[in-house]
């Protein structure tokens, strides 16, 4: 069996103490920035991180330090910084001890929380599941579920678009990743979709509540939902090992996957990889579709522009609202970038959200403008300028799957109706742990209106490159 990483401490206070110790052990100066504890700065970091990052970028440059509660967080922004962390010097950064460690209680040792040889081996085993032929097969499932959900798009109805897409994306993930019928993945008071939502809601709670342990705490709720999901997943693994049943889903592939030395994954790591894909596959799709139709509701004239394609609309949505908005890392050794030193074993982060809004990199970055993504516009971009799916050896495995899913949802909505955000709605964003609308997004469903931009939607939006 492939050997995974050592168990991670679930004690948040122990981890916080180690952060303080590590900060004090720095052997080189920290980048400029406010490094004294400030309740006001911590509050702003929680409520307006984008505004804070952009202000400090202008004040200190592409590398700066922010004191967050008990530890220093180094931010590296801009195309050159992104390329440095993701590609040219990626080996000097680890994931497991960065903020992604907060996801380990739910996701375990999945692709977001592992490093080194185990990550490379696991990624290699999973790549066949995201080959273009597999995506084409999964598209049949996506279309079936989208058509089913689209029955709710009745003119005159008011729906919460974010909730609608989340439920749809979870059903798609259960079928495509686990080979499970979402309607049968429930018994009595158990519903896999609801349990996963309950578990994930832990990360939307205030930081202080996330630290609490014991009965009736958010953490206890997470553990309970995780246990019930584990019972379902491990039960499915045991059933398939016993009867040899396999399908086109990722779970089936992982059960039989072996590396070049004939080593396979333990059941717990199969569970962790599948759970991570379930998280990544549904949360990012839900946010992207919601933000896209928020902007289209504000800018309906874009749908009548014959030059703009659905792909360009999606690309611009990911520029303004990249769901995986931050890349938390730990530096291995001290290093220097842009004339600034950064200690080893420090929390270091790139932030696609902030890098996609830098005024010295993007013209009018606060304007939703799909014309940035013409073929000429994309060719003119610098390395590291546009990174909604990360980059380098950790580029999102499910990128093509997500593109196919969002394309199918766009097509279904464009063909059936027009969505209008309700008057008075104000978009507020939360970071939990991807960016998403705080209280969903209510929309009014109207009858479809012809629009030239939609003419090639079925092909352009769901095309899967070889």
Which residue ranges make up each domain of the chain? 12-460
CA-CA distance, 73 to 35, in Å (whole number)? Answer: 9
Q: Cβ–Cβ contacts within 10 Å for residue 347, how many?
A: 22
Nearest Cα neighbor of 304 from 455, 456, 452, 461 is 452
Which of 1.20.1050.10, 3.40.1710.10, 1.10.10.10, 1.10.630.10 is the CATH number of 12-460?
1.10.630.10
| Cβ-contact 244, 210 below 8 angstroms | no
3-state helix, strand, coil in the chain (%, to 5): 55, 10, 35
Q: What angle do CA 141, 147, 150 make, to 5 degrees?
A: 140
CA-CA distance, 181 to 249, in Å (whole number)? Answer: 12
- CB-based contacts of 15-19 (< 8 A; 24+ apart in sequence): 15/101, 16/69, 16/70, 16/71, 19/70, 19/71, 19/347
Dihedral over Cα of 366, 369, 373, 374: its sign: negative
Pairing relationship of beta strands 71-76 and 347-351 according to DSSP bridges: parallel
Q: What is the largest CA-CA distance in the chain?
A: 63
CA-CA distance, 174 to 310, in Å (whole number)? Answer: 26
Is 247 exposed, middle or buried, given 0-12, 13-18 or 19+ CB atoms closer than 10 A? middle
Pairing relationship of beta strands 435-437 and 186-187 according to DSSP bridges: unpaired
Dihedral over Cα of 115, 116, 118, 120: its sign: positive
Pairing relationship of beta strands 190-191 and 326-331 according to DSSP bridges: unpaired
Nearest Cα neighbor of 285 from 175, 188, 164 is 164
Distance between start and end Cα atoms, the chain: 31
Nearest Cα neighbor of 303 from 465, 170, 415 is 415
Q: Tell me the CA distances in angstroms from 336 to 6, 71, 77, 81, 344, one per residue in order.
A: 30, 20, 14, 11, 11
Confidence (pTM)? 0.91
| Cβ-contact 350, 86 below 8 angstroms | yes
Instruction: Specify the 3-state DSSP secondary structure of 78.
Output: coil
Bridge partners, 436 (sequence order): 430
CA-CA distance, 384 to 77, in Å (whole number)? Answer: 10
Residue 250: HSE in the Cβ half-sphere, 13 Å Cα cutoff:
32
CA-CA distance, 62 to 38, in Å (whole number)? Answer: 22
Is 234 exposed, middle or buried, given 0-12, 13-18 or 19+ CB atoms closer than 10 A? middle
Return per-residue pLDDT of the chain as tens, 466 residues: 788 888 888 788 888 899 999 999 999 999 999 988 888 887 888 788 999 999 999 999 999 999 887 889 999 999 999 999 999 999 999 988 888 888 899 999 999 899 988 999 999 988 888 887 888 888 889 999 999 999 999 999 999 999 999 999 988 988 888 888 888 766 556 777 788 878 888 887 877 788 888 898 999 999 999 999 999 899 999 999 999 988 888 899 899 988 888 888 999 999 999 888 888 877 789 999 999 999 999 999 998 898 999 999 999 999 999 998 999 999 999 999 999 999 999 999 999 999 999 999 999 999 999 999 999 999 999 999 999 999 998 898 888 888 999 999 999 999 999 999 999 999 999 887 788 998 899 999 999 876 555 554 433 333 333 2
């Amino acid at each position: 069996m492939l050997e995974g990483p050592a168990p991670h401490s679930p004690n948040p206070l122990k981890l916080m103490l180690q952060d303080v110790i590590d900060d004090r052990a720095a052997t080189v100066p920290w980048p400029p920035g406010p490094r004294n504890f400030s309740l006001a700065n911590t509050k702003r970091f929680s409520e307006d991180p984008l505004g804070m990052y952009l202000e400090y970028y202008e004040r200190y440059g592409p590398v700066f330090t922010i004191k967050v509660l008990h530890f220093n967080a180094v931010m590296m922004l801009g195309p050159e910084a992104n390329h440095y962390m993701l590609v040219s010097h990626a080996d000097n950064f680890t994931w497991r001890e960065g903020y992604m460690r907060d996801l380990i209680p739910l996701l375990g040792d999945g692709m977001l929380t592992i490093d080194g040889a185990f990550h490379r081996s696991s990624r290699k085993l999973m790549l066949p599941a995201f080959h273009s032929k597999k995506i084409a097969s999964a598209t049949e499932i996506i279309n079936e579920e989208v058509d089913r959900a689209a029955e709710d798009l009745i003119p005159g109805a008011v729906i919460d678009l974010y909730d609608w897409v989340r439920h749809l994306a979870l059903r798609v993930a259960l079928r495509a990743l686990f080979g499970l019928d979402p309607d049968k993945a429930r018994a009595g008071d158990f519903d896999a979709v609801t349990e996963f939502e309950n578990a994930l809601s832990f990360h939307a709670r205030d930081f202080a509540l996330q630290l609490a342990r014991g009965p009736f705490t958010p953490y206890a709720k997470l553990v309970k939902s995780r246990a019930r999901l584990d019972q379902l997943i491990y039960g499915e693994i045991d059933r398939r090992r016993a009867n040899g049943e396999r399908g086109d889903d990722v779970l089936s592939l992982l059960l039989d996957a072996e590396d070049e030395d004939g080593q396979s994954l333990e059941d717990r790591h199969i569970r962790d990889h599948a759970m991570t894909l379930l998280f990544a596959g549904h949360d990012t799709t839900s946010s992207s579709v919601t933000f896209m139709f928020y902007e289209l509701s504000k800018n309906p004239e874009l749908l009548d522009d014959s030059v703009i394609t659905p792909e360009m609309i999606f690309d611009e949505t990911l520029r303004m609202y990249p769901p995986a908005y931050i890349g938390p890392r730990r530096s291995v050794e001290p290093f220097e970038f842009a004339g600034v030193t950064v200690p080893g074993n420090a929390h270091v982060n790139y932030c696609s959200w902030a890098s996609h809004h830098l005024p010295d990199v993007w013209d009018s970055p606060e304007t939703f403008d799909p014309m940035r993504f013409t073929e000429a516009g994309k060719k003119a971009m610098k390395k590291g300028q546009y990174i909604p799916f990360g980059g380098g050896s950790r580029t999102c495995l499910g990128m093509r799957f997500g593109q196919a899913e969002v394309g199918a949802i766009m097509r279904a909505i464009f063909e059936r109706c027009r969505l209008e955000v309700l008057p008075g709605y104000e978009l507020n964003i939360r970071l939990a742990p991807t960016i998403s609308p705080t209280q969903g997004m209510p929309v009014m469903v109207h009858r479809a209106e012809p629009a030239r931009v939609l003419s090639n939607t079925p092909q352009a939006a769901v095309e899967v490159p070889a």
